[in-house]
Every structure is written in structure tokens, then in C-alpha cells.
Amino acid sequence: MGQVMSGVTAKDLSIAFGATLTGVQLFTPADPIGKSLLLLKQLRGHKKNLTCNSEINSGIDEYNKLHKAKDAKTRNANYKKLVNSYYDLATLFYEWGWGQSFHFAYRWCFESFDESIRRHEFQLASKLHLTGDPSQKIIDVGCGIGGPMRNICRFTGCDVTGLTLNPYQVQRGNELTDASDTVNGKCRSIQGDFMEMPFKDNEFDAAYAIEATCHAPDRVGVYSEIYRVLQPGAVFACYEWCMTDAYDKENADHNRIKKQIEEGDGLPDICHTSVCLDALKESGFEVLHQRDMADAFIGKGGKPWMLPLLPSWNPLSQRFQFNWLGFRLTNGMIRLLEFLWLAPKGTFKTQQMLQLGGFGCGDGGTAKIFTPMYLMVARVPTTKEKVIKDQ
């Protein structure tokens, strides 16, 4: 496991996950027992390389320090360190409790959680105007550990390259890809900054981003880079995290929710939907379609995207931790494990950070002031002109 900016390694964090297995791991969206056993197997593979527990505490302190800056410009200036610190702390928690695809999806009445995640990805891939030629190349901008990349590779049959800033995510993503017998070497994860992609001009036939470019310090900057690496006529489709028209910047409760989402999810700032749409146009794209998919009709028995983050009294649901009793029990258990040195110092603060984002997203979705799935589909003009960004 490579050491990253905050001084935290994923192996350090695995101590915390194993120690809190009887507590936090019960509260997952689906299959808590199976995921617990899978995690234990993964931990045994890393056991020989575990290092000092204190690095988890220093990592979460570094992350919190970055977010103390009230000015979004200050946070944007440190976006690399902010995002890397966040995913050092959060990646294994996400995989442990959510799966290999780090994004939301609404659910039809007949869908399981995993089915809804795949369908959400396939819906986006269907917007890319692919021809069915298996030689076509797609770029996944902000790929995480590659869950969507592998699913979309299987769905389209195309070659998919995933780009992520975080070194651990690259390693974990390629481990999972190598272990898959269904992608046949047609996808891989590489490390890089989506503000300065390590690709040639016109290298890809299509691009997509799923809840990833929200980490960018400048939307025009990231969209311009995507534009640069796409061929003329290629399509870019994305789900963006945005504030909606219902958000009132003068409303203190709305601002509290916005700040919770930013702090709990490693975001420098959250833009309004109009900012993202205007940035896409300014970057040179022709907008084909835009819609907030959080407003999609889900039918009788359907479930909204934020349901996993809303309180429940079911103790075998991840939602249990969002009621007052589950919140106290979960955090009390982790505090006890830290006190007994069964969990490293910093585990509790990391859990608090992730819970904060969960509360913010749940409240923001309920109030309809926030969406994690603002869909934008755009095309590079066939008479493509080079975009020159301000240095």
C-alpha cells in the first residue's frame, strides 16, 4: 500500500474496520454478513503490513484542518490534498458498507440495491452514442475503485480507462479488475488529476463521470480537460452533485446541510446546477440533454436515492445509525473500542465525518435542495476547436 499525502495508508485503516466489525458493519445497505466475511478475508491479506495506529488520527485531523477554511477559494486551492486525504480515510469504509460503486441510485419497486446501482450506470452509458465497436475507448473520469468502470465495460464491450487522483484507489481498483474474469483485460485504473489528464488530445471516443467532478475546484477546468481528450463528435455524460433551485443561500438550515455534505464527502464547494451547465457550454460542448434524475418517477413502491441515509429502527440496516439511538450506540461502541485499544485512535472521528455527510445528504435530498444525480449529456462539435485554459 502506498503512503499518500496525509500520511495515512489504507492498511492502517483496516485495523479500524476489523475492530468495529461487530458494530458499524451491521449497518450496511445490503448483505451485512457476507460483506463482513469478505472484509475479514481482505484484512488477513494486509495483516503483515499494518503500521502505526496513530496515523489514522493524524490523517483525520489533517482532513478536518483543511475543511476549517470557511472560504471556498481556500479549499479549492488545496483540492488535491483535501480529496486525497478524504479518500485515504473513506475508501475502505465505502467499499465495506456500499460496494464497489461509490454512488447513489433511486430504486424501482422490483430492484435490489445492487441492481439499482448497475441500472443507474447503464442508463448513463446508454447516453454515450456508442456504435458497438469493441475497439472504442471510453474514459471514466474519477473512477474510484472501478465498480462502474467494470460494469460499463461489460455492458458496452468497449475498452474503458478509469482515472482517479488517489493512489490507493488505483491499486484497489486494479486488484478487483484483475480478479474479474468478465472484463478480459479491457479496463484498468490509472492515477492522475482530472484537471491535468495524462492523455493525448482526441484520445477517447466517449467519456463519463459519476458523482466525481464535484471534487473539482473549477468546473470549466475539468470539463475543458474532458473536451480536450475526446475526439470530435464524441459524447460526455455525467451525474453531478449540485444544489438545486430550492436551495436558498440566505437560509441557515440550507447552509448547514450544504456544509455537512461538503465536510462529510470531501468537497471544496457544491455548485448550483446552472453553474455546471454553463461551465459545460463554456468548455466548448454542445449540450444535448440535462435533467435532475432525483426527480425521476419511481412508481409505487419505488425508493428515493437518499433512502439509505434516512433513519430506520431496523438494527440490521445501515439506516439504524441515523436515528438518535443508533447514532449514540454506534458512536459509543467505537469510542469504547478506541478506549480499549481495539480500534486505532481516530476511528471515531472518521466515523463522525462520514456520518456528517450522511446526515447532510439525507436532509438535502428530503428538502430537495441537493441532488447527487444532475444528469448532463453533451457532445464535442464535429468541427472541434482547441480550448485554451487560463494558466
What is the predicted pLDDT for the residue at 213? 96
Asked if 383 and 232 count as a contact pair (C-beta separation under 8 A), the reply is yes
* pLDDT average per 10 residues of sequence, the chain (391 residues): 41 47 40 48 38 51 63 60 69 79 94 95 97 94 96 96 93 93 90 95 98 93 97 97 97 95 86 97 97 93 93 80 80 75 67 82 97 98 68 36
CB atoms within 10 A of CB 181: 6
Please report the DSSP string for 253-308 in residue order. Answer: HHHHHHHHHHHHTT-S---BHHHHHHHHHHTTPEEEEEEEGGG----TT-B-TTGG
What is the predicted pLDDT for the residue at 26? 37
What is the predicted pLDDT for the residue at 305? 96
Which three cell numbers, joined as nine digits, stand for 50? 499494518
What is the predicted pLDDT for the residue at 325? 85
What is the predicted pLDDT for the residue at 371? 98
What is the predicted pLDDT for the residue at 75? 59
What is the predicted pLDDT for the residue at 3? 33
Q: What is the gyration radius of the CA atoms in the chain, in angstroms?
A: 20
Could you give the number of structural domains in the chain? 1
Alpha-carbon distance of 391 to 138, in angstroms, equals 27
Structural domain for 87, as ranges:
1-391
CATH assignment at residue 87? 3.40.50.150
Residue 90: C-alpha distances to residues 71, 137, 145, 337 (Å): 24, 30, 12, 19
Residue 332: C-alpha distances to residues 20, 104, 321, 351 (Å): 11, 28, 11, 11
What is the predicted pLDDT for the residue at 81? 67
What is the predicted pLDDT for the residue at 78? 59
Cβ-based neighbours of 344, under 8 Å, separated by 6 or more: 12, 15, 16, 19, 53, 54, 56, 57, 338
Alpha-carbon distance of 26 to 41, in angstroms, equals 17
What is the predicted pLDDT for the residue at 340? 75
Q: Which amino acid is at 16?
A: A
Please count the CA atoms within 13 angstroms of the CA of 271 that sit on its side-chain side.
22
Burial class from Cβ neighbours inside 10 Å (0-12, 13-18, 19+) for residue 30 reads: middle
